Amino acid sequence: MRPAPIPAASERAADAPGQSAQAQAYAYILGEIRAGRLPGGTHVVAERIAQALGISRMPVREAIRQLSSEGFMTIRSNRGAVVTSLGRDEINELYEMRAVLEGLAMRSVATSIDAQGLEEAEIALHRLDRARQDVNWFITAHDQFHDVLLGFCPRPRLVTEIERIRRAAEPYLRLTLKVSSTAMQNTTDEHREVLEQIRSGDPDVAEAGMRAHILRIDVGALVPAVS
Amino acid sequence: MRPAPIPAASERAADAPGQSAQAQAYAYILGEIRAGRLPGGTHVVAERIAQALGISRMPVREAIRQLSSEGFMTIRSNRGAVVTSLGRDEINELYEMRAVLEGLAMRSVATSIDAQGLEEAEIALHRLDRARQDVNWFITAHDQFHDVLLGFCPRPRLVTEIERIRRAAEPYLRLTLKVSSTAMQNTTDEHREVLEQIRSGDPDVAEAGMRAHILRIDVGALVPAVS
DNA sequence: GCAAGGATTATTGTATCCAATCTGACCGAG
DNA sequence: CTCGGTCAGATTGGATACAATAATCCTTGC
């Protein structure tokens, strides 16, 4: 009754063994989108993904539906799913939403973060400073800084939503940074200022600081791919 | 073995004929949740829904997955899906998120709404005033007032997200209003004040007004069902 | 040579089937 | 009487099979 002698087929694609097939598909597709290997507008064929992962189409469909309701893909009835392509206005919209939400999150962070948390944030800041040469490192370090702060926000949904928005904008940020890396230069001072505002402990200051910080991004300079 | 000559089964449940099976399932389950007929914590069995609608389990599964990623349900691996049950903190979190997002939306509404829009809002306000006797009417009229304003916000995602949050909190609001309808009394003045602040045309005033309005809700008095 | 229309193919949507897992009841030992 | 284990039923996860729809290409008439 055991898995049989050779569980090859189902094991082969097991890049993530314990995961369910649907979770595999979700992680795989989202990873491809975030990395930019599936650019906006790409038609995603369920069967292809299924074969690539060695699973059937069904879990892939569910993953696509979930990605769709999270805004990463768009399903057109009977015509398949395409990777959502964001224009300038839409990216701007995402940043505005993230600005107010992450501002809200900083209200509670300002009052709940402790000395150790502030220390972690400082460390993340240093990592960010050293990562200014490489796009991947930079994005990782940048996310880490924000995640350290969000770790002190006791609102799971709010944090989840913020991170979702950040992921949705990531491909465009990545593309832009690859072309002109000037955006990576001034960030350390920028982020240190935010950190100081949070350190003040004043919710209003912390909120306004983070909100302004996120809105300061020049979205116009983003979006090299004008869908 | 086929469904037989008479396609009755699939036709019978066709409350929404043109819809795909998955859309039917989605609308059906969400409707049941919003109406409170599927209270938080209810275990939803895919097979039951499928039978009730005369479709198979697969589209139901997809609908559940989508509802799950939208926060209405929670899927536990191999153990099925339950209707998400929100506690006091979580409802409060939702209202805070909606407050900042709808505040943001009002910034653009303040500058883009026209005379006709203001008139529509006034009408909605009167409807709201007359609907204070019945919970269903009240909720409908209340949603309409906010929707009129959001109709002038040129940010589709923002509007979608706000409405999603409102729907997520609706069952609890409905439950509460059924018990104590005092919350329905003062709303007309409340909403008129918001409308006046929007009429001012000042984004800052409009944002602060709406944000304060939504936060003014006494979430503590909400949540009769302490999961 | 080109456009319109129809056949063919590719892809999606749905249903059915099988395996894996969980739930709960029953039963026996301590 | 309680605790633990086994077994049957229910339910989910996944795969295959079939139907429906859209996309493509090829023919055919002009």
Q: Cα–Cα distance between B119 and A72 in angstroms, integer?
A: 37
Residues of chain B predicted below pLDDT 50: 1-15, 227
Q: Residue A77: closest CA among chain B residues belongs to which residue? A: B20
- Residue B225's pLDDT is what? 61
Domain boundaries of chain B, sorted by first residue: 8-83, 88-221
**Which residues of the protein have their beta carbon within 7 Å of strand D?**
A 10, 20-22, 55-59, 77-79; B 43-47, 57-58, 61, 75, 77-81
- Residue A84's pLDDT is what? 96
CATH of domain B8-83: 1.10.10.10
Question: Would you tell me which CATH number, out of the four given (1.20.120.530, 1.20.140.10, 3.40.1350.10, 3.40.50.720), belongs to the domain A88-221?
Answer: 1.20.120.530
The string of pLDDT tens digits covering residues A9-30 is 333 333 455 689 999 999 999 9
* Structural contact between residues B161 and A97, judged by C-beta atoms closer than 8 angstroms: yes
- Residue A191's pLDDT is what? 95
The string of pLDDT tens digits covering residues A139-193 is 999 999 999 999 999 999 999 999 999 999 999 999 888 887 777 888 889 999 9
- Residue A225's pLDDT is what? 61
Report the mean per-residue pLDDT for chain A. 89
Spanning CA of A43 to C1' of D25, the rounded length in angstroms is 20
Spanning CA of B226 to C1' of C27, the rounded length in angstroms is 38
Question: Looking at CA atoms only, how far is residue A137 from chain B in angstroms?
Answer: 29
Please determine, for residue A8, whether its predicted confidence score (pLDDT) is greater than 80. Answer: no
D21 C1': nearest CA residue: A78
The pTM score is 0.89
Task: Note whether B77 contacts A158, CB cutoff 8 Å.
Answer: no
Proportion of chain A above pLDDT 90, given as a percent:
79
The string of pLDDT tens digits covering residues A76-117 is 999 999 999 999 999 999 999 999 999 999 999 999 999 999
Question: Looking at CA atoms only, how far is residue A134 from chain B in angstroms?
Answer: 32
Q: How confident is the model at residue A217 (pLDDT cuts 50, 70, 90)?
A: confident
| Strand C nucleotides, any atom under 7 Å to a protein CB | 11-17, 20-23
- Residue B1's pLDDT is what? 34
